[in-house]
Structures are given as C-alpha cells and as structure tokens.
Amino acid sequence: MSETAMNESSEQNESQARVYFPDPLPGQERFVAPIDETPLREVDSVDEDVPPTSMWADAWKTLRRNPLFIISAILAIVVILVALFPNLFAKQDPMACNLSNSVEPGRPGHPFGFDLQGCDVYSRVIHGARTSVAIGIMTTILVTVFGGLIGAIAGFFGGWVDAVLSRITDIFFAIPMILGAIVLLQMFRTSTSLWKIILTLTLFGWVNMARITRSAVLEAKNLEFNTASTALGSTPLRNLFRHILPNSLAPVIVMATMSLGTYIVSEATLSFLGIGLPSTVVSWGGDISTAQTLLTTNPSVLFYPSAALAITVLAFIMMGDAVKDALDPKSRTA
Amino acid sequence: MGKYLLRRILQMIPVVLGTTLLIYALVFALPGDPVAAMFGDKPVNQAVAAQIRSEYNLDKPFIVQYVLFLKNALTLNFGNTFAGQPVISVIGRAFPVTIKLALMAFVFEGIFGVIFGIIGGLTKGKWSDNIILVLSLLLISVPTFVTGFILQYLFGVKWKLLPATAGANPGFIDLLMPAIVLGSVSMASIIRLTRTEITSNISEDYVRTARAKGMSNRSVIMRHVLRNSLIPVVTYLGADIGGLMGGAMITERIFNIQGVGNTLYQAILRGEGTLVVSIVTILVLIFVITSLLVDLLYAVLDPRIRYA
Amino acid sequence: MKKQSALTIAGAGLCVMALTLGACGGSGGSDSSAKGTDSGSSDAVISVFNPEPANPLIPSMTNEVGGGNPIDVMFSKLVRFDDKGKPANEIAKQIKANEDNTQYTVTINDGWKFSDGTPVTAQSFTKAWSWAANIANKQLGSSFFANIKGYDDLQKEGTPGDVQLSGLKVIDDKTFTVDLTSPSSTFPIQVGYTAFAPLPESFYKDTKAFGEKPVTVGPYKFQSWEHNKAIKLVKDPSYKGGIKVKNGGIEFRAYTDATAAYRDVQAGNLDVLDTLPASARKTFQTDNTVQAINDPGSVIQMFTIPTYMKHFGQDQEGKLRRQAISMAIDRPTIIKKVLSGTAKEVHDFTAPVIPGYSTSIKGSDVLKYNPSKAKELWAEANKISPWGEGDTFKIAFNADGAHKEIYDAVTNSIKNALGIQAAGNPLPTFSEFRSNVQNRKFTDSAFRSGWQPDYPSPESYLSSNFASSAANGNGSNDGDYKNPEFDGLMDKAASAKSIDEANKIYQQSEEMLFRDLPAVPLYYQNSNGVAAKNVKGFSFTWKGTPAYYNLSK
C-alpha cells in the first residue's frame, strides 16, 4: 500500500479514525468533524470483508486499459511465440545454406533474400529469435534479481554493508568484459554456449543494476512514508520489501527493459570481437556481426536482423514504460 | 564529512588489492601460452622461450607472480611490455587521448541525454516524446560497430565533413565523431532514465505545492523536478565515465585511436598480465573516485541524504 | 620458415611472419603505368599502413610485418631479392661455397657505412649473428642460425651474452668464413633474411636504445618512432646498394584495423594500404576513390588435417576421408562469392608466382569439386570404420583474425556435399589457437594453416610443412605427416644440379601429397591493396609487401 492511500484513509475513513481519535476529553477540542456533520458518501465506504487490493492488482487494472501496453504486449507475445515455435513461422532450415545463392535479393519463398553464405535471411531472422530473446530475457532477469538485490541491500542498510557491496561493485565495473568472456568461454567449454553468453553478460551487467537500485533505494528510504511506516511499528526488512522496493521500481524497470536490448546487442559485439556464439547457433547478434562487412554493398542483409532486434527492444521498452506507470500511482495521468 | 571522506579513501586499498588479484587471476587463466605465441606460427625455441618466461616471471606460480607484481608496483615499477617498453610509458601514451575522448562522449551523452529526457518527460505521450523514444530505440538496437562504420563512411569518406579516423594527435574535431558514437549508447539510457524520473516526479505533492504557491512552470521544473530527478541519472553518468574509458575498445578500433581500450584489447589478446592489470587498476581507481563523487553529489541533490 | 598467422587485423592479410627481404628489389615495377599530370617529386614522404611493431626494432627480434616492413628497408643484408624474388648480391661481393656446401667464404664490398658513420666490416656480421643466436639475448629469430657450427653451445642456460658462434671466423676486415653443421645449398639465399642483417658496434653498448632508435645501413635511415603513431624513415643518401629510391621517405602509420586504414585511403589521409579488409573485398576494384591492385601472390591457404585426428590417420580410411573432404569443397564458388575474386584457384602446394608452380600435377583433381565422388569415397571409408551419427567435422581457426566467413563457407560446402555435420571451430585468440596446435590438442578437429614462403622456391613450401624432420615440434609440420618416400624426394631435390631439375622432383613429391592430403589446399591468396589516387609506382613484390622504394607522388 502506498503512502498516499495510507494518509487519506486516516482522515477520511471514520471507522478507522475512531481508533485514533476517541471522544475528546474535557478541555480538548475536536479537530476532525464529527461523523454526523459530514456523512460518509457512498464512494468513501469501505468494505472491510474484502482484502485490500494489492499494488499489482491495481497495476493490472490500469494496464488493461492502456493501449500502449496492449500493443507492446501483443508485440512481445508474438516475439516470444516466434522464439518458442520458429517452425510455425518459417519452413526453411536456417542452416541450409548454398553459396550459389550468396547475397541474392528476395524472391518468392525467400522474402528477405540471402546472406553471404547463401542462407535464407527470413528463416534466420525467425530462428534467431529464440537465441536472442533467450539471451535478452534470461540475462535481464538474472541481472535484475541479482543486481537489484545487492543494490537494495547496500542502499538500505548503508554503513559497512554498503561499503563492502559498493566496493565489490566498483571492482566488477572495471573488469573488461572481453577478458572475462574469454576466460569464461574456456572454463565452461563443455556446457551449452548460450548459457556461457548469458552468464558472461550477467556477470558484467549486474553492477549497473546494483548501482541504480542502490541510488533509488537511497532516495526512497528518506521519503516520509518510510518514516511513517516505521512509526507504525514496521520492521526495517518489511519496510524494504513492502514500501521501499516497490517505490524504487521505476528506474529499475526502465533500466531492465532498456538493458534487455543492450544484452541482445552485446551478443553481436561479442561476435564482432570473435568470442560470440559459434556458427552452429543462429542468432540475431551473430548475423548482425557477420553482415557488417556487407554494410556498403548489401545493407539489406544487415537490416533484417537489426529490424527484428529493434522491434523486440521497442516492445519491451514500451511494456516496461507501461508497467512502470501502472505501478507508480503518482505518474498515472488519469 | 571529513571522516566519511577518509573512510572512503581508505576503502580504496582493499578495492585495488582485490581488483589486481582478480585481474591477475583472470589473465593467468587465459587460455594459450603468450610466450609461445610470440613465435607466431614458427616452431618455438624452447630455450629462448624459457628465458623470456623467467624475464616476465611467467614461470612462477600464480601467487608468486602476483606478489612480485605488487612489490614492484609499490615502487612504481610496473615492468615492461612484451614489446620491451615500460608499462608506465605505454599507459602514459594511452590515457591522455582516451580521457579526452571519454570526456567528450560524457559531455555529449550527459547534455543531450538529459535534454531529450526532459523534453520526453514533459511532453509525455505527444509526438516529440515518441520521436525521442524511436531515437533512443535506434541507439540501443544498433551495435556500436555498425553505427561507427556508417558514420565513418558517410561523414568521413562520402561527404568529407569530419576526419575518417582520429589520426596521430587527435584534437577536438578528430574526436568528435568517435565521441558521438561512443556516447550514443549510454545516451539512450540517460534519455529513458531522465524521462522516467521527470514523469514520476512531476506529479509529486511538492510540485503541486510549488505551483499552488504561484511559482512559474519553468522554475518549478528547474528548481524542483529536475533536481529531484537527477539522482539515478547522476548515478548512471558517474558509473559510465569509467565505462567510457575502458569500454571504448570498438570505437577506438574503428577510428584508429591508440587509447586505453585498444591497448587493453591488444594486451588481453597477447596475454600481457602486467599491462592488463596496470590499466585495469587505474580504471578501478577512476571508478572508485567517481562513485565517491556521485555519492557526494547525492547529498547536494537531495538534502535528506547525509553522510556522517 | 614461417606460416602465415593472423594475430592482427581483419582482412587475413600478409601477417605476422614476414621475415624475408622482399621489399628490396630493383627499380622498375609498374611505375610507367601510373600517369599523372605532375611528375612525382623525389622527396615526397609516402604514408603507409603498418601495425605497431610487436618487438623492439632489432632485426633478429622481429618476426611480424609491423617491425619487419620498416626493418627490411632500413637494413641491407649480404644479398637482396628483386621484385620477382631473384637474389642478387648487396653488401656481399662474393659468397663462395666449398665443395660439399658445408663452408662458405663471404667477402663484402668496400665503402658501406652505418648511419652513425662507422664502416661495415666482417665483424658487423659475425658479431650480430652470434649475438642473435645466443640464448642469453632471448632473440625470437635465434633458430635461423641453427645450421651454423657452435649454435648448440650457445643454447645452454647461463651462457654469457657475448660468446661467439664457433663456426664464424673473421679472416680480415672484409672477409669471413661460415662453417655449417650440414650441407646447405640455400645458405646464400638465407642470408637475405632480416635476421642476418649487420649491426654496428654501438648496438652492443645499449641494445635497448638501439631497439627504439636503430642505427641503420640501407636505402632508408631511421628518423623517429612515436609509439602507436608512426615510424618515420628518410632516404639515406649514402646508401650504396642496388635499389633506386623514388621518394624522400616512408612514414609507417600505426593502425590496429585495416578497415580504418581503408577509410583513410578513401578520404585521402593515407597513401598506401597493403592489407585488404574483408569489408572492401567486393568493392575495392571498382572504388573510384582509390587505385587498387589484385595480383597473384605467394601465399597459399590450407587447412591441416592432423594425422593424430580420429578417423583421419595415415591409413586407408584416413586417405579416403581426406580425399572426400577435399572434393566436397566448392572452391571456385567460395573464391567468387566469399572472397570476391581476391584469391586464385588452387592447383598445387606452392603458389602461382613461384618457379616450379604447376597446374597439372598428377592427382590434383582431388582439388576439383566433385560431390558425388566425394560421397562415394566417404561411404567407402565408412565401411572401414563408421562415421558416428553425432560426429562433426570441425576446422579450427583463431577468431581474432578474419577467417570466419571462409570457414563457414568451407564447412557448409562439406556439409552439403557429404551430408555430414561440419562446422568451424573458432578459438578466441591466436595464442590459444597456437598452443593447441603446438601441444597437439586438435585430436578431433582440423585447423587452418596458411603459408608465406621465405624465398621463392617450392622447397620453402614443401619441406617445411610436410617433411618428417619438421614434425613433432621440430618445424612447421604441425600435422605430424610422415612419409619416408616424400622425405627421400626432398633430399634428392636439395642435391639436384639445377633449379629446373629440383623443381621437377618437387612436383613429383606433390603427387604424393595429393594422395595423402596431409593438408587440404583451399586457395592462393592474392597480393592486394589500395593506394591513394595521386600515388605513383604502387606495386607489390613477389612476397606481397608494397615495393616501398618505388612509391612517389
């Protein structure tokens, strides 16, 4: 429950107010109008049998009515469907490449044309979704949970906890990702390459999230509702999870949805540096990186995977915006 | 305050120790034998290789190598690179140009990021907001190496408006394009962060109060909304300045800037432990100092945050 | 002896191991073809692409182009090679062999002086060679002197740095003798390598300072080296050799990426680029902002299938599989589509510019694309020992070079023709790739191997790569191919009376290689690059480096 709701309830809800404001003692003056003077209106009545609506339920209510959310959610669902069932969308095998088709333009059955190796670009874009979306979503989840938690703890507890965690963050900030990536790639040679990439990106992505969360928590910690909640006997930990974290979510959600795109792009960068996924795995990042040499001659080969990536990023950013707005009662522009 | 500062400065010691140890371990764990690679594709003369290994202490156990490095570093002796140059002079050459580049990128992303973010936040849902959304989207979803190559080709070769590469002694004009490319990715994040903070702060009670008091829209935004919106933005910017310096590998490669990123990348590929550790240690110091500055800025931006 | 590596830059260019003195031919070249309105000025300074040297500028320490290119034009040696690779005496007046080619007497010309004014004497050579061979001085090029008597004594740890090679004897100021451990008819050519350059007395006083600011003896002298920026050389007017220098100096600009250099040539900021980036392959010849060269070169690209790889031993099964793999590769299409014509179709194990090159060696039809025959041979091999359902044919390469496109195409072709799984096997760094090769770790993967010769003879390609004496880590026979019959032909060719006779024997030995395919040839890499429009005299030597001295503008 957010702080505005709480303040209002103490003033307007007579049944609760009665607990705090018993009948005046002799000599005291009444500072709240007696109930018979301002009768409760219908809208203000509270059904005490119904549990209070949660922040999430509230958010969902708002979201359902937000066209931005609906559009972006549909987009995201399509992207996820493509990622889960690529065969429904493309019949061609993305690995079936014939050099005689190299950089041929589109033709019936091959709407996007062919890349340098003569692979069907359309089917590579469709099949690449799984890898790229998996990298984006998994890394974002891991980074948000891990980085968010560390940042929240550091910001909330302060003192030596903050010092230790923040300095660890500093150390990780400075490690060049490529160095870590080469070492990780070699350490986990046997495991699936996709997880190695996710692990690498997480290991070097959480620090940013930790710092952002820490700063948001620092900011929220000092807001009035926190003091109020403490005064009402709430434990610090309960404060953190019930009040501070939900109120720090806005920048975290924005960062997370933004990063989702950057992680997918990072895979392209790793490929560009020669430490990305092997050719046996189809991914947007890998295809963007290989198409880079065709930039001036056959830009369309570069365009399609980039466009797929942009649409995915757009979907998640817009969704993130809508969710953030819905969670934050203040920014509701109703 | 003084005590707080002192504490933070003392904290740098374990951070530097931790970083150097971690980086040294990572370089040690790098696959391949750097000395054998010096012979290229040629058969390795094992006797010479053994001599070179002992010159660079590569024949010793990991922890001994690390302690020796620390011991020498204390006397500011960082050893030589495989190319026979003092590490310190390599660093001395790489940092100035990168600092210039990073600062330019920083100013670029800071100014334009915040301005676009404010415009987006104040005109939420309108066309200007949407254009800015698309812009930041583009910046995120196109990798640096693609943006870099496109800009370099268009501005440097086709229209000849800016130098195609930075050249040997780059000045402001030479670094303009690299700085824009380097700063553009972070700029997208800053735009989104600023916009978010503005939209959520603009409906805060104090804004209503200020408006009710008859304050002009402009000063409400400048004095209250912006100031309160900047904390996460400043955090991001603060963290980014170190990232801009160490993470410019690709930009520096595209524009042939012989700076920190390029040097670091080459050193990693060659497995040059001392050079990598020395560069990263400096980067860590920069991170620690900027994070201290950011924490101090919090107190300026939000008087409720106090440091004992 | 060196293979081509690619620690550096995109473009799969002429990389690390360019030790020979290719850049010192006679004048001439294609100068006459370049016409301009104004005649080239003889004191113009030409800027050229160059990776930052990986080592100090000491001849015997240099084994990559970054240092090799400037050193080659700063140091004359006993002999030099012209643009076609023909050796001629430079500092040497005469190099005379004894009867069985085990002792050489070297006489040097009068009047040669180092750039510090001291004369070039017999000692300038003997001391320099001994110093380089001595283990105490940790020279990467030390093994170049392995055939000189006394080399082994200098390889013991604890040897003082100034102990001399016992096989070198100074007779007088202008004469010295060289005793070899085994007969060698190529010694008079070997001394044209970078590592055999003479060094002045001042070198031994402070080798470190010399490495930063060398005292030279060649067509160019050293002016300055700003690290990671440029090495500047100026024409040396006191140069006595046979090269006619047509410019006032060369500025070797430091680049880490060939694409950036290409953009600079286009924009007019750089004069010459000799390493073509992959992104320019399709366009450089039609690009009207630059002048392009795309000539046959001396580099051959192959991949080695090591004899210790499963299913590919030196037996009937291995032989069948090797031939099947080779016939499954559609080379002409790969050259056309992926390499955009920057390579020539492969016919033997040498290269088109090499005397002894032949397009009609018996057995070379395994290089022809023949998917049905390939399938047949593969099925036959499967009868001997079945290829597993989940087995993949892998080719390893270092991912920090630009090899991915090519090996993707090669493995796709194999996959399509044979119906088996095939994939590239990228290793992040050159260093990791080489360690795996050196430690014989590729037991389930073939690996890329390119070759740039030291001198224009089939011998440099064949015996270094495939002779038993070069196997097991003693040379560049990284696949450990051993064939006594082939070794016999190598020995026979070395003692042949004439070059033509030797080359015939070499071609005979290649028939053997086509049967066993210790490595699968892919293509001959062209010597290619671009120069700014106003540059004149842009041409490549046989070795693939620009003829620097011919450039003018």
Segment C111-156, tens digit of pLDDT:
999 999 999 999 999 999 999 999 999 999 888 898 899 999 998 8
Q: Per the CB < 8 Å rule, is C269 touching B164? A: yes
Ordered by start, the domain boundaries in chain B are 1-75+271-300, 91-262
Q: Which residues of B touch C140 (CB under 8 A)?
A: 38-39, 45, 48
With an 8 Å Cβ cutoff, is A182 touching chain B?
Answer: yes
Say yes or no to pLDDT of C32 above 60. no
Q: Please give the interface size between A and B, counted as residue pairs whose CB atoms are below 8 Å apart.
A: 181
Does residue A90 fall inside a structural domain? no
- The answer to whether residue A92 is domain-embedded is no
Q: Domain count of chain A?
A: 1
- Among chain C residues, the shortest Cα distance to A97 is held by C412
- DSSP assignment of B29-80: HSSS-HHHHHTTTSPP-HHHHHHHHHHTTTTS-HHHHHHHHHHHHHTT---B
Helices and strands in chain C, H and E counts: 14, 18
Shortest CA gap C333–chain A (Å): 7
Q: What single DSSP character describes residue A88?
A: H
Write down all domains in chain C, each with its CATH number in brackets.
76-217 (3.90.76.10), 297-526 (3.10.105.10)
* B33/C435 touch (CB, cutoff 8 Å), yes or no: yes
CA distance B216 to chain A (A): 21
User: So what's the architecture of B91-262 in CATH?
Assistant: Orthogonal Bundle (1.10)
- Token digits for C249? 């100096």
Amino acid at A221: K
- Is any Cβ of chain A less than 8 angstroms from the Cβ of B292? no
Is the Cβ pair C260, B165 closer than 8 Å? yes
C254 contact partners, CB below 8 Å, separation of at least 6: B168, B258, C50, C51, C52, C227, C228, C229, C230, C231
Compute the nearest-CA separation of B271 from chain C (Å): 8
CA distance B228 to B223: 9
Q: Is A93 touching B (CB cutoff 8 A)?
A: no
Min mean pLDDT across A155-169, C23-37, C492-506 is at C23-37
What's residue A9's pLDDT?
Answer: 42
Please give the Cα distance from B169 to A84 (Å, whole number). Answer: 51
pLDDT at A33: 57
Q: At what angle do helices C404-418 and A284-291 cross, to 10 degrees?
A: 120
Determine, for residues C429 and A296 on separate chains, whether the beta-carbon distance falls below 8 Å.
no
CB contact under 8 A, B253 and C260: yes
Chain A CB contacts of B7 below 8 Å: 163
The pLDDT of residue A31: 57
Q: What is the largest CA-CA distance in chain A?
A: 100
Q: C338 to chain A: which residues are within 8 Å by CB? A: 99, 102, 116-117
Instruction: Please tell me whether residue C311 adopts helix, strand or coil conformation.
Output: coil
Q: Give me the helices (H) in B123-167, please.
A: 127-141, 144-151
Q: In whole angstroms, what is the distance from residue B54 CA to residue B270 CA?
A: 17
The per-residue pLDDT for B172 is 94
Q: What share of chain B has pLDDT > 90, as a percent? A: 33
The answer to the question of residue A39 being in a domain is: no
Q: Give B 84-123 residues with CB within 8 A of chain A.
A: none
Which residues 413-452 of C have a C-beta within 8 angstroms of B? 427-436, 438, 449
Q: What is the pLDDT of residue C8?
A: 33
Contact status of A138 with chain B (Cβ, < 8 Å): no
Place of tokens 């069932």: A85
Contact A278 C426 (CB under 8 A): yes
334 residues of chain A, pLDDT tens digit each: 344 444 444 444 444 444 455 565 666 555 555 555 555 555 556 666 766 667 777 788 888 888 888 999 999 999 999 999 999 998 888 988 999 999 999 889 899 999 999 999 999 999 999 999 999 999 999 999 999 999 999 998 888 999 899 889 888 888 888 888 888 877 776 666 788 889 989 998 899 899 889 988 888 887 777 788 888 888 887 888 877 887 788 888 888 888 888 898 888 888 888 888 888 889 999 999 999 889 889 999 999 999 999 899 889 888 888 888 787 665 544 3
pLDDT at C25 over 50: no
**Chain C residues 219-278 with CB within 8 Å of chain A:** 277-278
A280 part of a folded domain: yes
Query: What is the ipTM, given to two decimal places?
Result: 0.91
Statement: residue C222 has pLDDT above 80:
yes
Residues from A in contact with C at Cβ < 8 Å: 97-100, 102-103, 116-118, 181-182, 185-186, 273-275, 278-280, 290, 292-297
Instruction: Render A173-225 in DSSP notation, one character per residue.
Output: HHS-HHHHHHHHHHHTTTS-HHHHHHHHHHHHHHHHHHHHHHHHHHHHHTSHH
Is the minimum CB–CB distance between A137 and chain B shorter than 8 Å?
no
pLDDT in tens, chain B (308 residues): 678 889 888 888 888 898 889 998 998 888 888 998 888 877 788 888 988 898 888 888 889 989 988 888 888 888 889 888 899 999 999 999 999 999 999 999 999 999 999 999 999 888 999 899 888 888 888 889 999 999 999 999 999 999 999 988 899 999 999 999 999 988 998 998 899 888 888 877 888 888 888 888 888 888 788 887 888 788 888 878 888 887 788 999 999 999 999 999 999 988 888 899 999 888 888 888 888 888 888 888 777 776 64
pLDDT of residue A6: 42
Q: Measure the CA–CA gap between A126 and A282, rounded to whole angstroms.
A: 9
pLDDT at A1: 39
Q: What is the model's pLDDT at position A52?
A: 65
Q: Average pLDDT in the C160-184 region?
A: 92
Cβ separation C256–B84 shorter than 8 A: no
What is the reported pTM?
0.88
Q: What is the DSSP string of C268-303?
A: TS-SEE-S--GGGTTTTTT-TTEEEEEEEEEEEEEE
> pLDDT value at position B138?
85
- Residue A146 in any domain: the answer is yes
Identify the domain containing residue A224 by its residue range: 68-85+115-331
Which of the residues A270, A287, A293 would you substitute to probe the C interface, choosing the one with the greatest number of C C-beta atoms within 10 Å? A293
pLDDT on residue C272 = 97
Return all residues near A147 (Cβ < 8 A) that are at least 6 apart.
Answer: A205, A206, A207, A208, A209, A210, A213
Q: Which residues of A touch B232 (CB under 8 A)?
A: 212, 215-216, 219, 251
Q: Indicate the residue of A118, A278, A296 with minimum beta-carbon distance to C283.
A: A296
Whether residue B230 lies within 8 A of chain A, CB to CB, comes out as no
CB contact under 8 A, A116 and C337: yes
> How confident is residue C20, by pLDDT bands cut at 50, 70 and 90?
very low
Tokens found for residue A175: 């490690």
B237 close contact with A: CB closer than 8 A: no
d(CA C529, CA C549): 16
> How high is the pLDDT of residue C1?
39
Q: In a 3-state reduction of DSSP, which class is residue C540?
A: strand
If one compares A45 and C193, the residue with the highest pLDDT of the two is: C193
Residue of A nearest to C400 (CA): A274
Note whether B265 and B257 are within 8 A (CB): no
How far does the CA of residue C423 sit from the closest CA of chain A (Å)? 7
**Is the residue at A149 inside a domain?**
yes
CB atoms within 10 A of CB B299: 14
Q: What is the gyration radius of the CA atoms in chain B, in angstroms?
A: 24
| CATH number for A305 | 1.10.3720.10
How many residue pairs bridge chain A and chain C with CB atoms within 8 Å of each other?
69
Q: Which chain C residues are within 8 Å of A289, Cβ to Cβ?
A: none
Chains touching C (3+ CB pairs < 8 Å): A, B
CA B23 to chain CA mean position, Å: 17
pLDDT at A30: 55
Is the Cβ pair C424, A279 closer than 8 Å? yes
- Residue A8 included in any domain: no
Closest residue of A to B270, CA-based?
A179
